[in-house]
Chain A
Amino acid sequence: MHTLIQDARYALRQLMRAPGFAITVIVTLALGIGANSAIFTIFDQVMLRKLPVEKPKELVRFEWTGAYSGSASSFGGDTGNYFSWPMYKDLRDRNTVFAGILAADRSSVGISWHDQAENKDAELVSGNYFDVLGLKASLGRLMMPADDTAKDANPVAVLSYDYWKTRFTAAPDVAGKTLLINGHPFTILGVAPEGFHSAIGGYTPGVFLPVSMSDIAMPWTAPRNDLTNHQSIWLTLVARLKPGITPQQAETALGPLWYALRAQELTGYKEVSARYKDKFLNHTHLSVKDDSTGFNPERQDLSMPLLVLMCMVGVLAAMCAVNVATLLLLRAAGRVREISMRYALGAARSRIVSQLLVEGAVLGAIGAIAGVALSPVIAHSLVRIISNVSDQDQTPYTTAVDLRILGFTLLLSVVVTLIFSVAPALQFIRPRLAEALRQSSGTASKRSQLFRKIAVGFQIALTVLLLGGAGLFLRTLENLRRQGLGFQTAHVLSWQVDPTLAGYTDDRTAQVEMNVLDEVRSIPGVLQAAGTTDPEIAGNQNGSNFTVQGHVAPEEEDMNFEVPNITTEYFRTLRQPLLAGREFTAADVKSAPRVAVVSLAFAMRFYGSPQNALARLIAEGGGNNVKLDTTIVGVVGDVKHQNLREAPRGTIYRPYLQQTLPGGMELYALTNQSSGAVESMIRQRIHRLDPKLVVYQMRTLEEQMDISLANERALAFLAVSFSLLALLMTAVGLYGVLAYATAQRTREIGVRMALGAQRSAVVMLVLREMALTAVIGVAVALPAAFGISRLLTSQLYGVVPGDPLTLGMCVAVTAVMVVLAAAIPARRAASVDPMLALRSE
């Protein structure tokens, strides 16, 4: 122990004697370890961390496959993740393998407390939600099955812990008090436990409301009759396995019940062919999947980017280890005589090796501490980029360093330290004592010189790999940003006004929204203003099945189309081209004949041209008895609606004022000047209309596009950052190796110059030293980059894996780095004074 302390003390003394070397190594380690810890912090929360509930390993969720017809409302993921309320109740009440099954859905509601209204995320949950999860209230009590009985009969709410702390200032007497949800009084039952956010991963609702209150929480869903409708799927289900039951056993046991429930559901379908019936009943399956981490639709979107980033920082950690090993080997070359002397004085091999390992451990420990300190800073930036919010409280992700992160960092540090400590230790395992002690200056063995060249070549190869990935992500981001959306984003402001927050009832919402639009249209500088129930590039998908006059759709044909309800001036506001017919007018109200404007894709699919589509009839719903009640009056260009990657799909625009309880809208204003100048005017005018109306989520469409690109931007930004870091580390390593090699070759350079070598020849001599290594490194990296980039295909857009231009740029950047890193040693070599170099004569 005393020896270890002595070695550690000696190591610290050595570091203090060479502060430049120590700082370089510690900064390298801190960046490498810090980046890994930061990415792991987010990776852990999105991919690995269990829900903070009782025995999370017992939780499972359901996914189904099979034919289906009806309306689906989702907050992400496949339709197979969602179920109808009647199906939920049947599964809950008729299974034998689960201790309980809960249902949940996400929604945004207006919450008014002490006359202050705000829009907030809510989770609609079944009455047994907290029981199934095994949670206890922080305050008051949680929801129970008795709180979720009949439609609109249970106006109660449970606050989330964070919302209670911030909005209700942790008031201890909040239970039993009343708040307004969308203008309706709800009694607060209590507060959810601290640390628990939701059964839905990555979701942070402010309140939990009973599913039975869904018509109030989501008034626009009222026409669907969600609580009785078998063909409206909208709930995600989570179950707790009975003790001793495995997910596989549960899945097997559920098979007959699922078949029976499907058969029962089919009876609700009108006019079903034998083929469809067979498909509906015999080609369906209900899977039971692990849900210990919570169902998180964003996980699908984030998992690949996070996996890519974890791999990238893993590569960075490997480069760190090799880089530090190279630097330590260079330093060790100057210690040959010291170590040889120790051997000559009787030191055992184990003693020397242990001393070198302790020196490595000291460096590793300091680097790890610095890395852990740096980690939250990097993680904070990452969270801001992927969440698109500046306020940390609004994200479901924490950047705090907990025991899991510390454990990961410790493990990584040990591995990295072992790698970089072993290299110098190996060099001194079999010293050539006589030779080393005879020489007046330290020299390096050919083996260690070879190791250094291989290490630098390895780093160059990894740098090309990282640059290749970063280049592809950058080009993807650029391609997504540059592509045509089908509408113009410049000078367009978007915002929301929820009249229910101001106490208006659902039947008055549409009128208030129209009043707001009229007010905005009168603002100087506003050229056009319009609204939609289905905002652009916001990730929304609002589809419905349609029947098209004259088109007999086979049962497997997808007749589901996007159905935004829009106001007049919509296409002019977004400058979406009208290809045929007309826009909606103020006359297109409920009492007028029902009309629609369809997208080009729709028109071409069914009618062959925009002109042919005009005056044709369509209807919402399917079956032979559907009444074709809607006339196509216009055709507009296709748009990228849900996100920037999605191909345009058939869209049927309908007049907002022809819908029953159409709900709130996203409003748009086209301005003739910078949107910022008009923003305050809009707020003022709406305030003047009714001071209780709250404007929220006001942003330009360009900002909305940025939000839509959050994942791509985060990936590109981080990939570029890590690549530049890798490039810098490689440059440092390359410089170190070349500087050392040049110093070792001073005599040789002197001889060459004395024999007539010109400075340019000496520069070439030094550059050639690394050129071959760099060429081999690049030659190894390019096929690897090509192969690995194929795994990234799902993350790319408008660029092929192994894109020659991107890889060419990576090689060019690497070449510039090699030349820059070699420039100083080369210049130093060219300045060697042969007279001085040969003075040993």
Chain B
Amino acid sequence: MIELTNVERSYRTGPTETWVLRQVNLTIRPGEFVTVTGPSGAGKSSLLNVLAMLDDQWKGDFLFEGEAVQGMTRKQRADLARRRIGMVFQSYHLLDDLTVAENIDLPLSYKDIPRKERQALVADTLDRFNIVGKKDLYPSQLSGGQQQLVGIARAVIHRPSLLLADEPTGNLHSEQAKEIMDLFCKLNQEGATIVQVTHSKENAQFGSRILELRDGWVYSDTSAKRTAGVQS
């Protein structure tokens, strides 16, 4: 599904060039649940931004479902991401002025989907995530776990083939975190490919494969036999 070859990313600050991703070679197959771990500054979020196609300043080759992302224009990349990728954020990033239902509807509102169809999809998702009773509440009226539930519902409503989660449980206590991770497992079992970034060793175990980054390099990969990144 995803194939990164020699992907590199750096930031230039004056004369200094700081590398955040170095020669990353990575293949993720459909249906995998990959956990990316590593210390702060290891390049986890940078890798996620590359995969989410939010970043376009990297070098190397990136094949997404057989399509070469590096050759795409910004608009084509955004279009592909809009159709195929869902994002879950540590701070949920729900929009304060929108209700739960409106927040969930947000990704659909950026596609050419008829209003009725959107309403049906939102209703299905609310039902699927068991939050029908909260559909008219605003984010500030929900607990952290509930907000992240809405965040995940929003990320998957358009049935993306890849779900990216950046520290999805970072702001939650352990019980809430476990519920969210269970939900991820369920989604994975239903066929979603998931890449999550986490600091938590406990939550890392929910993934079927753990990738550890250090200083931008792929330090280890539990799918060792298939590992492409090698530490120097």
Contacts and interface: CB of A to CB of B under 8 A. Distances in A.
A450 to B, nearest CB: 13
The range of chain A's interface size is 10 to 19
Contacts of A835: 49, 54-55
A841 B110 contact: no
Contacts of A833: 54
Contacts of A758: 75, 78, 110
Interface stretch (A159-167, A289-297, A502-510, A746-754): A746-754
Contact of B106 (A752, A838, A840, A841): A752
A756 B166 contact: no
A841 B91 contact: yes
A834 interface: yes
B58 to A, nearest CB: 11
B144 interface: no
Contacts of B49: 835
Given A835-B49, A841-B45, A841-B166, A755 B91 contact: no
Interface stretch (B26-34, B81-89, B173-181, B212-220): B81-89
A676 to B, nearest CB: 62
Contacts of B154: 755
A827 to B, nearest CB: 16
A753 B89 CA distance: 13
Nearest to B94: A751
Contacts of A840: 91
A181 B107 CA distance: 92
A463 to B, nearest CB: 28
A757 interface: yes
B56 to A, nearest CB: 9
A838 B166 CA distance: 11
B230 to A, nearest CB: 27
A833 B87 CA distance: 16
Interface in B63-119: 75, 78, 81-82, 87, 89-91, 93, 95, 106-107, 110-111
Given A834-B54, A835-B55, A755 B45 contact: no
A756 B167 contact: no
A748 B95 contact: yes
Given A838-B89, A841-B89, A756 B54 contact: no
Contacts of A756: 78, 81-82, 107, 110-111
A111 to B, nearest CB: 79
A838 B93 contact: yes
B87 A754 contact: yes
Nearest to B108: A756
Nearest to B49: A835
Interface string A722-753: 00000000000000000000000001100111
Contact of B167 (A753, A755, A761, A841): A841
B82 A747 contact: no
A757 B110 contact: yes
A754 to B, nearest CB: 5
Nearest to A834: B54
Nearest to B90: A841
B167 to A, nearest CB: 7
Contacts of B42: none
A841 B165 CA distance: 11
Given A748-B95, A841-B45, A754 B90 contact: no
Contacts of A838: 54, 89, 93
Contacts of A757: 110
Interface string B151-179: 00010000000000011000000000000
Contacts of B91: 840-841
A85 B58 CA distance: 100
A754 B92 CA distance: 12
A435 to B, nearest CB: 12
Nearest to B85: A756
B52 interface: yes
A755 B107 contact: yes
Contacts of A754: 52, 54, 87, 89, 93
A838 B52 CA distance: 13
A496 B106 CA distance: 80
Interface in A287-346: none
Contact of B87 (A748, A755, A761): A755
A413 B152 CA distance: 56
A572 to B, nearest CB: 73
A834 B54 CA distance: 7
Given A747-B93, A841-B45, A755 B55 contact: no
Given A748-B95, A841-B45, A841-B90, A755 B106 contact: yes
B90 to A, nearest CB: 5
A751 B52 CA distance: 13
Contacts of A751: 89, 93, 95
Interface string B110-136: 110000000000000000000000000
Interface string B179-212: 0000000000000000000000000000000000
Interface string A757-777: 110010000000000000000
Contacts of B75: 758
Contacts of B89: 751, 754, 838, 841
A755 B78 CA distance: 10
A748 B87 CA distance: 14
Contacts of B82: 756
A747 B90 CA distance: 13
Contacts of B111: 756
A744 to B, nearest CB: 11
Choose among A752, A757, A838 the residue with the greatest number of B CB atoms under 10 Å from its CB: A838
Contacts of B93: 747, 751, 754, 838
A183 B91 CA distance: 98
A751 B106 CA distance: 10
A752 B106 CA distance: 8
Contacts of A755: 87, 106-107, 110, 154
* Interface-centre pick from A752, A758, A841 (highest chain B CB count, 10 A): A841
Contacts of B55: 835
A748 B154 CA distance: 15
A605 B121 CA distance: 82
A755 B166 CA distance: 14
A758 B75 CA distance: 8
Contacts of B45: 841
A761 B91 CA distance: 23
A838 B49 CA distance: 10
A463 B91 CA distance: 43
Nearest to B158: A756
A754 B165 CA distance: 12
A754 B45 CA distance: 14
Interface in A42-93: none
Interface string A510-540: 0000000000000000000000000000000
Nearest to A752: B106
A751 B91 CA distance: 11
Nearest to A755: B107
Nearest to B106: A755
Nearest to B197: A841
Interface in A805-841: 833-835, 838, 840-841
A756 B110 CA distance: 6
A761 B79 CA distance: 13
A840 B171 CA distance: 13
Contacts of B95: 748, 751-752
A834 B91 CA distance: 14
A758 to B, nearest CB: 7
A751 B88 CA distance: 10
Given A755-B154, A758-B75, A835-B55, 16 more contacts: A747-B93, A751-B93, A751-B95, A752-B95, A753-B78, A754-B54, A754-B87, A755-B110, A756-B107, A756-B110, A758-B78, A761-B110, A840-B91, A841-B89, A841-B166, A841-B167
11 contacts: A751-B93, A752-B106, A754-B52, A754-B87, A755-B87, A755-B107, A835-B54, A840-B91, A841-B91, A841-B166, A841-B167
Q: Which 3 A-B pairs have the closest CB atoms?
A: A756-B82, A756-B110, A751-B93
